[in-house]
Structure 1
Amino acid sequence: MQPFAVILFDIDGTLVSAGGAGRRALERALEERCGPLAGRLAGLRLDGMTDRLIVREALGLLGHGFSDAACDGVLERYLSHLREEIADPRYEVLPGVASLLEALRARALPFGLCTGNLVDGARVKLARGALDHHFEWGPGAIGGFAHDGEARERVVAAALARASARLGRTVHAREALVVGDTPRDVAAARHVGCPVLAVATGRYAAGELAACGADHVSATLEDPAALRLLLG
């Protein structure tokens, strides 16, 4: 099996579990802007959503209008709180992740991020588990993030475009493997045309991920089948 031209990783539920740090940081930021939440966000599911879309939907539930300025203000406070909340002892690097990233680097196989997180939020979450050094962060780095669009498929498309620029050739969608843990990850990748490896390390079981159209499903990134797919 030939390796993919590039592998694009989601973060939350795929590489790490942040112990609810992101939600707590967001709720603190929203309370500062909108007042007590009084449980009004209890039904808001964050899985697979981009940070900007999360803020849009949260402000709507709280009866506040959305604007780019309002969103930017909430996300600025969110990042500040995230740096505190990420210290939660329930944080964990998910099974097989550290050794997989080491193996990808050792083989010089291109990989990057494809996440609904802000760039700074992504780095905070990965740094807590000493994973941030595996990824490039400057201009020209491979990745797609929240600033690329509220819709998850725009994040995938941006990551694919940056992979093409980084590798100096057009990387076709079928050459890029997206690794995620939610139906939104699967749907966005399939919308762009990328194959998907879904891992059942988040909220969704393997059967649910297979049913929503994932090309490959594994329990964790330790699974031999997942490693063969990722490492070629």
Structure 2
Amino acid sequence: MLPPRCARQWPKAVLVLLDIDGTLLRTHGLGLEAMAAAGAEVFGAPFPTEKVDTSGRLDHLIFREVCAVAGFPDDDDHMARFRSTYVREMHARLKAEPQRLVTMPGTLALVDLLHDDPNVEVGVLTGNWEETGVAKMEQAGFDTSRISVRSWGDAGLHRRDLVPHAMKQAQLKRPALKPSQVVVLGDTPKDIDCAHHHGCRCLATATGAFSVEELSEADVVFPDLAESETVFKSILELAGM
């Protein structure tokens, strides 16, 4: 009699961490305009966001780097004033120019697919502060109540810090979750770096400022996320499903 076939060992969970800007949606400069306006109000002088690299950066780091370039104080009090003013400016711009926020093709369907899979925890991993991240997502049509794990830009000093912060949240529900079962989905080399630094997987999309070739160190690269079913299957495969 032949021995029984070995059953495949399925992971108990997959954690998918979604970047926002350049991945789920684009705001076509609204964010930087709001930051520049906020900084100018707080400091009474131009706040030159154009002088720093903002791709994949945390909002608080962008603030500190612009302050360093412009010679402004970057203490906690000034950052708190900047943050509240930036949030106000961002909300005003989203309301005044809603057409500038564009939901990337396939992303709404992809989040639905991920949310509806009982093995998947859906999270965000983003440089955005929570107030602006939620505002962007909701205006883009995403139901943020479906996001069970939230690693916002103030959860760490650097983007690498956001992955363990997200995993700790997910492990409250899925205690056996391992790094190899975590997939970071983003559009910059910093998304790739923060995933691989912790032994996680990365699926990159060339819908932001970087090309497929520039994102080649990701485990998988797509030109866009329009084919949501294909992207969904690729995410599960990366996590060993």
| TM-score, with length taken from structure 2 | 0.86
Residue 225 of structure 2 aligns to which amino acid in structure 1? L
Q: Counterpart of 1:185 in 2: which secondary structure?
A: helix
Distance 2:173 2:61 in 1: 28
Distance 1:45 1:135 in 2: 31
Aligned residues: 224
Query: How many Å apart are 1:195 and its aligned residue?
Result: 0.8
Distance 1:47 1:35 in 2: 26
Q: Counterpart of 1:177 in 2: which secondary structure?
A: strand
Tell me if structure 1 keeps the 8 A contact 2:58–2:159: yes
Tell me if structure 2 keeps the 8 A contact 1:143–1:163: no
Structure 1 range deviating more: 158-167 or 1-10: 1-10
Question: Identity of aligned pairs, percent?
Answer: 27
Query: How many Å apart are 1:103 and its aligned residue?
Result: 1.6
1:8 to 5, 17, 32: 17
Query: How many Å apart are 1:42 and its aligned residue?
Result: 2.1
Deviations 1:142-170 (A, max 9, x none): 12111211300111221111111132x04
Matched, 1:82 2:90: yes
- Who is 1:188 aligned against? 194
Distance 1:221 1:26 in 2: 28
- Who is 1:66 aligned against? 74
Matched, 1:143 2:150: yes
- Who is 2:32 aligned against? 23
- Who is 2:231 aligned against? 226
Residue 38 of structure 2 aligns to which amino acid in structure 1? A
Distance 1:189 1:155 in 2: 10
Deviations 1:74-118 (A, max 9, x none): 111111111011243121110100111112222232111011111
The runs of 5 or more residues in structure 1 that have no matched partner are: none
Q: Counterpart of 1:143 in 2: which secondary structure?
A: strand
Query: How many Å apart are 1:133 and its aligned residue?
Result: 3.5
Q: Cα RMSD (Å) of the superposition? A: 1.9
Larger C-alpha radius of gyration, 1 or 2? 2
Deviations 1:24-48 (A, max 9, x none): 111111001222327x432322110
Distance 2:146 2:63 in 1: 26
Tell me if structure 1 keeps the 8 A contact 2:134–2:144: no
Tell me if structure 2 keeps the 8 A contact 1:218–1:225: no
Q: Counterpart of 2:154 in 1: which secondary structure?
A: helix
- Who is 2:3 aligned against? none
Distance 2:143 2:45 in 1: 34
Distance 1:171 1:68 in 2: 35
Q: Counterpart of 1:101 in 2: which secondary structure?
A: helix
Structure 1 range deviating more: 10-19 or 104-113: 104-113
Matched, 1:52 2:63: no
- Who is 1:165 aligned against? 172
Distance 2:45 2:64 in 1: 17
| TM-score, with length taken from structure 1 | 0.89
Q: 1:22 to 1:132 in 2, by over 3 A?
A: farther
Query: How many Å apart are 1:220 and its aligned residue?
Result: 1.1
Distance 1:161 1:202 in 2: 28
Tell me if structure 2 keeps the 8 A contact 1:51–1:118: yes
Residue 111 of structure 1 aligns to which amino acid in structure 2? V
Tell me if structure 2 keeps the 8 A contact 1:148–1:155: yes
The runs of 5 or more residues in structure 2 that have no matched partner are: 1-7
Matched, 1:217 2:228: no
Matched, 1:131 2:136: no
- Who is 2:203 aligned against? 197
